[in-house]
Structure 1
């Protein structure tokens, strides 16, 4: 089966939302830069990470959840996930670290952002273990904390599958409500709603919610989708942002992922355009590399007053072009070739086309959930 093109495109918009938070939010201590663009919508850009967690749970369950009677090959799964996230993650971490050292030792100017620039924190980041806690400081290349949290979900992925009921729409829906309630508890006990970072507090219930959405879709084989599902879900997301209740946004994001997984949705055609799908495919690189062009742009503004004097919109477009360029370079120069090499050298062979073609119609209908392309 083909990829969910609308969901691939959605990844780009979630990443862009996070970028807008980091670019346009006015921090009290004057960190980063202020180019005169502010919005409550941008201030809630941290919720893009929550959308990523839900989407990740859904897609991984769709791709790797074994059929009844089969077992997940955890080793092959882990190798595939390492190939997917680690090369670009390490490349960005090393370049960021070089920038920190360069500014501290050569320019004698501290890098803005996180202050946890110590060797132990670097090693934690390198090992993808920095976010294996409830919440906390983000460390080197601070946006990488969410990748560490995702790694937690990958390692314990079999437990997520075990905890998610496979049969019974009501049971699955009730557990999804429970996962959403846990998100609500996390938000209620945090002074910053869901903008807390550096840990798995948000990851666990939201990734589980994504897995449950996949199971719900599997348990509803006759349901073909609702054409206005994505628009109604976006309305719920907007209400959550407007009233400042992040859990409402998470509920809307879950509905958005579920709706866009069906081909009849009103936004399917728009989000299936090749350009948006491509941007979705590079969205991981866009997210993980974002701090480097941001800091370069900030440094350039400090050295060239004429750059800082440009209209805010022009500066934003220049920064976006710089960031997309860096993401494309990382995607084609590191992510794709290294992913292919790791999968060839250590990974699993995919299920052969012959074995798929030889399945009965009923088997194909059921196993279609388990043989979509590996990410």
Structure 2
């Protein structure tokens, strides 16, 4: 069976654009995070919720793209398509991470200068597969499952839920899926309001606590997005990209809620944003139409750049964070030229990787697998 020769469905161009908006805000969040002293004073304070938005958006698109194709597509064909879509940029992200790690120098990571090249290469090669490394193999000191490219943790969980979807969850009816989504939502709210930091930040370490956070963060939004794709029929909304992107930016940039005295309040904000606001944003985006023109081109560009910049930007954040650490007390208002250089550089590298590597490699792999 030709498992890749499936008819291409029309895209939701506004959802592509929203993914790009979220990815660009993630990069800005990480640049600003280097100057924060705690979760309480981070600028773009809820930028970390972009990951949860990606999960929900992924579930919605997965249901739309594949739910009615299983009569023509094998499980192996599904996995092949997902690997072709995601894995080339995983390899590029780890490669960039290894290069940046090798040339990094900061008081933040005094041990990295003693990391032998063979160990760096081993971690990079394991990273190519997206298999998490245990804490004992962490070469940076942040206990990341992917110490060369931190955001790889979310791709790991993306693969996990993709596997769960293909092997069984796709067969669930609306009622059964609704019950599971409700349970996952309760678990999410409970964790968020009782967490030690008053938020859902975490999931990037191969420890029991961090794995719990990762699964808590992915299970509700992904399968809620899947359910949303099955039960909601988009209508026709004007200016859908404008309103949905503004709402998304507002959620991600909203200041910390509750302060240090009421950590539960921010946890409630996090969970309600994921459970209520993100589905509304996706619904608005799915309900909009874009005529051929500037708006469609903008959304396509944002969609194209979203994944490359998300998976390749963090090695530059390591360098910028290390530089800020070497200049104690450096405020963003003082460091803005270097912050802008980091942001712009990450963007340009992602665009080059998209055009010179990702698109050609995916096209070649698609032809080969046919």
Describe the shift of the 1:255–1:308 C-alpha distance in structure 2 as closer, same or farther (beyond 3 A): closer
Partner of 1:261: 286
Deviation at 1:56, TM superposition (A): 0.7
Counterpart selection for 2:340 from 308, 317, 328: 317
Aligned pair partner of 1:10 in 9, 12, 18: 18
Does structure 1 residue 211 correspond to structure 2 residue 226?
Answer: yes
How far is 1:20 from its partner? 2.2
- 1:36-84, CA deviations, whole angstroms, 9 ceiling, x for partnerless residues? xx965523211010000000111111111125x8364211111111111
Q: Structure 1's 345 and 332: CA in aligned 2 closer, same or farther, altered over 3 A?
A: same
Distance 1:272 1:20 in 2: 23
Instruction: Show the counterpart of 2:76.
Output: 75
Alignment TM-score, normalising by the size of structure 2: 0.71
Structure 2 distance, partners of 1:174, 1:329, is: 44
Aligned partners of 2:251 and 2:333: how far apart in 1? 33
CA displacement 1:209-229 (0-9 Å, x = unmatched): 111111113xx4xx6256688
Match of 2:200 in 1: 194
> 2-side partners of 1:77 and 1:339: how far apart?
15
Alpha-carbon deviation of 1:172?
6.2
Shift of 1:322: 1.1
Which of 126, 149, 156 is the aligned partner of 1:148? 156
Aligned equivalent of 1:247, options 271, 275, 281: 271
Task: Please report the TM-score for the alignment, with normalisation by the length of structure 1.
Answer: 0.70
- Is 1:50 matched up with 2:52? yes
Residue pair 1:6, 1:272 contacting (<8 A) in 2 also:
no
- Count of matched residue pairs: 316
> 2:186 aligned to 163, 169, 181, which one?
181
Alpha-carbon distance, 1:3 to partner: 1.4
Match of 1:59 in 2: 61
| Uncovered stretches (5+) of structure 1, i.e. residues with no partner | 30-37, 348-375
Q: Which has the higher contact order (CA 8 A, sep 6+)?
A: 2
RMSD over equivalenced CA pairs, Å: 4.0
Rounded to whole Å, the distance in 1 between the matches of 2:14 and 2:294 is 5
| CA–CA separation in structure 1 for the residues paired with 2:218 and 2:128 | 20
Alignment gaps of 5+ in structure 2? 1-8, 114-118, 135-142, 205-210, 258-264
Instruction: Map Cα deviations across residues 237-289 of structure 1 (whole Å, 9 max, x no partner).
Output: 4779645221111021121112211126xx99999441343022111110111
1:179, distance to aligned residue in structure 2 (A): 3.5
Task: Note if 1:281 corresponds to 2:304.
Answer: yes
> Counterpart in 1 of 2:207?
none
